[in-house]
């Protein structure tokens, strides 16, 4: 086995500017009374439409501009857009109103020329926003581009969690991520399910990924599943039932195919071994 730890990359010449920008944004959002929608609107205008950022209201009202341009400028304000979770019956309107501007800033940044592939700046921005969105967020959270949520406010995240590109964290019924969880590209973690008879019949169930769990490429974990400590769901697998600690589950539906070599002895196995030794008189 070859260990390949991540390299350290030198700071770019624009690093001081990025530091100052994040510091200003963080200070503004730290104020409990801050108008988050206005902060999101101004930030996106500066990033995406700097020509109009100085007087966005005038630009939106300017009939000399193309109608599509005016609509795009108006849509920088999260109060002028709707997100899918707002249509869910159990959406807490008050709680979602607090996180919606931050989700819109997160998603829009990821789709911007500035944010799409910017690893350092993107990770730092999402790390700034995550504690203001999630129910709980531990230290050193790292999310890459195009991670999406349902409500966001039903997500609990431990320390040193890494979420890679194009992951869906459907926290509609609640998701708990333990320490050092790693979720690979294009994985889907669900916490709600629909009846096969009537899709309007929705059941929410908390999904739990315990410490040191790995969910690999294109895998899916369904609502209510618990992946035990150090468990792993393999590429393209669909976990429909709980994954035992240290077990590697693959396939559709996912089943255990091996136990990790670093797994501690199971209590039953220890007792069986002791019994065998006693029977042999050793």
Alpha-carbon distances of 94 from 76, 99, 191, rounded to whole Å: 21, 9, 21
Cβ atoms of 233 and 254 within 8 Å: the answer is yes
Distance CA 225, CA 15 (A): 42
pLDDT at 239 over 50: yes
Average pLDDT over residues 205-234: 98
Q: How far apart are CA 235 and CA 248, in angstroms?
A: 11
> Model confidence at 273, in pLDDT bands (50, 70, 90)?
very low
Check whether 227 has a pLDDT greater than 90.
Answer: yes
Domain boundaries, the chain: 136-276
Q: How confident is the model at residue 127 (pLDDT cuts 50, 70, 90)?
A: very high
Residue-wise pLDDT for 160-177, tens only, equals 999 999 999 999 999 999
CA atoms within 13 A on the CB side of 72: 12
Closest CA to 221 of 235, 240, 247: 240
Nearest-angstrom CA–CA distance, 252 and 234:
10
pLDDT tens for residues 54-93? 999 999 999 999 999 999 999 999 999 999 999 999 999 9
| pLDDT greater than 70 at residue 280 | no
pLDDT attached to residue 60: 97
Q: Which CATH superfamily is domain 136-276 in?
A: Hexapeptide repeat proteins (2.160.10.10)
User: How, if at all, do strands 182-183 and 162-163 pair?
Assistant: parallel
- 3 pLDDT more than 60: yes
- Confidence band of 117 (pLDDT split at 50, 70, 90): confident
Q: What is the pLDDT of residue 6?
A: 86
pTM comes to 0.91
Q: In what order do the strands lie in the sheet with 142-143?
A: 142-143, 162-163, 182-183, 214-215, 232-233, 247-250, 255-259
- Report the C-alpha gap between 113 and 108 in whole angstroms: 10
Report the pLDDT value the prediction gives residue 53, as an integer from 0 to 100: 96
Which percentage of the chain shows pLDDT scores above 70? 94
* Confidence at residue 207, expressed as pLDDT on a 0 to 100 scale: 98
How much is the mean pLDDT over the chain?
93
Q: Does residue 38 carry a pLDDT above 50? A: yes
Report, as an integer, the average pLDDT of 90-116: 94
């Amino acid at each position: 086995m070859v260990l390949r730890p991540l390299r350290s990359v030198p700071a770019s010449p624009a690093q001081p500017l990025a530091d100052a920008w994040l510091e200003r944004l963080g200070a503004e959002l730290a104020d409990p009374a801050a108008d988050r929608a206005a902060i999101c609107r101004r930030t996106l205008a500066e990033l995406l439409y700097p020509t109009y950022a100085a007087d966005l209201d005038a630009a939106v009202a300017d009939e000399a501009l193309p109608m599509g341009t005016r609509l795009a400028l108006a849509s920088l304000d999260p109060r002028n857009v709707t997100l899918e979770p707002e249509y869910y019956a159990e959406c807490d309107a008050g709680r979602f109103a607090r996180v919606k501007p931050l989700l819109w800033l997160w998603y829009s940044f990821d789709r911007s020329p500035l944010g799409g592939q910017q690893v350092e700046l993107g990770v730092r921005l999402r790390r700034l926003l995550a504690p203001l969105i999630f129910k709980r967020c531990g230290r050193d959270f790292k999310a890459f581009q195009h991670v999406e949520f349902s409500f966001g406010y039903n997500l609990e995240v431990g320390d040193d969690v890494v979420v890679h590109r194009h992951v869906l964290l459907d926290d509609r019924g609640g998701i708990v991520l333990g320490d050092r969880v790693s979720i690979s590209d294009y994985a889907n973690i669900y916490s709600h399910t629909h009846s096969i008879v009537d899709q309007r019949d929705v059941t929410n169930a908390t999904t739990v990924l315990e410490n040191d769990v790995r969910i690999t490429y294109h895998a899916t974990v369904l609502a209510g599943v618990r992946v035990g400590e150090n468990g792993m769901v393999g590429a393209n697998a669909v976990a429909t039932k709980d994954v035992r600690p240290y077990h590697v589950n693959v396939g559709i539906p996912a089943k255990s195919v091996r136990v990790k070599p670093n797994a501690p002895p199971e209590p039953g196995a220890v007792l069986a071994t002791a019994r065998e030794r006693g029977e042999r008189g050793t």
